[in-house]
Chain A
Amino acid sequence: MRLFENWWERAPLYVRIGLLVASLVAIVVGGGADAYWE
């Protein structure tokens, strides 16, 4: 896991932005328990 986390810091800016947005969407939508895909 640490390998991936360190890679985040070396990644280009646009990749970091993508990873951050994807992670936040994944946490909120994935962690939520409302009816999916409605």
Chain B
Amino acid sequence: MLGLLAPTFVAVIAALCLSGSLRTLVTTRVRWWPAVLVAFAVELVLYNPPVNGQGWAIQVGPWIWLGTKLALLAALLRNAWPGPRWPWLVAAVGVALNAFVVAVNDGHMPQAAEAAIAVWGASHIDPTRLQNVAPMRPDTVLPWLADVLPQPAWIPRPNVVSVGDLLLAAGIAAWVFGAMAPNISFKSRYIDLSAATRRATPRDRRCST
């Protein structure tokens, strides 16, 4: 779980090293932020005691969880327009993939047993309480989009993640980087300086003495 936030931390540090500013980041707002916070709060309540041990939660909880995914997806798409589009779209594709896999696997994200053993030494899935993951079975739909990627042990609290998780983490990290260092673009397949920065460089004849 925490490993998915690591790319965002790296993006913040990289942007600061490249003359980015935290001030430009905090002046940028996340659109539909109340929907984002409510969806996350619902997940927190649903997957923690005492609710995660209730019979009704085990029965309908997975579909409530899917609903929160769709709310987050809507918020990500809302942020993709208008504005810097591609980071939000990458994140939205990640959430959409996760939501789709959950929807076609009875409301749970399938988790590969081998990957779980690689991370924790054993599978932690407890059928007596509501959990968002379920063991991968031979009839699992779209297993390659499920939780099959073990995070390395050096990451704090490593987990087993999906392709959708990686896209989501990369998209948000790219947005944070772009919000902090808006003068650096990735055009032409390399880090390019903006026109304003180029004009200020000594190689430009307008700056020469």
Contacts and interface: CB of A to CB of B under 8 A. Distances in A.
B10 interface: no
A31 B35 contact: no
Nearest to B165: A32
Given A29-B4, A29-B40, A30-B43, A36 B33 contact: no
A36 to B, nearest CB: 5
Interface in A12-38: 13, 16-17, 19-20, 22-38
Interface stretch (B13-21, B95-103, B186-194, B199-207): B95-103
B5 A29 contact: yes
Nearest to A20: B26
A25 B43 contact: no
B14 to A, nearest CB: 16
Contact of B72 (A1, A4, A27, A37): A27
Q: Is the interface of A mostly helix, strand, loop or mixed?
A: helix
A35 B43 CA distance: 12
27 contacts: A1-B32, A1-B35, A4-B33, A4-B34, A5-B33, A8-B33, A16-B26, A16-B27, A19-B30, A20-B25, A24-B172, A24-B176, A25-B5, A25-B40, A28-B172, A30-B68, A31-B72, A31-B95, A32-B169, A33-B147, A33-B164, A34-B147, A35-B133, A37-B47, A37-B48, A38-B120, A38-B124
A31 B8 CA distance: 15
Contacts, number: 128
Contact of B69 (A24, A25, A31, A38): A31
A37 B132 CA distance: 10
Contacts of B26: 13, 16-17, 20
A21 to B, nearest CB: 9
B160 A23 contact: no
A7 B157 CA distance: 35
A28 B68 contact: no
Contact of B168 (A1, A28, A36, A38): A28
B136 interface: no
Interface in B29-87: 29-37, 39-40, 43, 47-48, 68-69, 72-73, 75-76
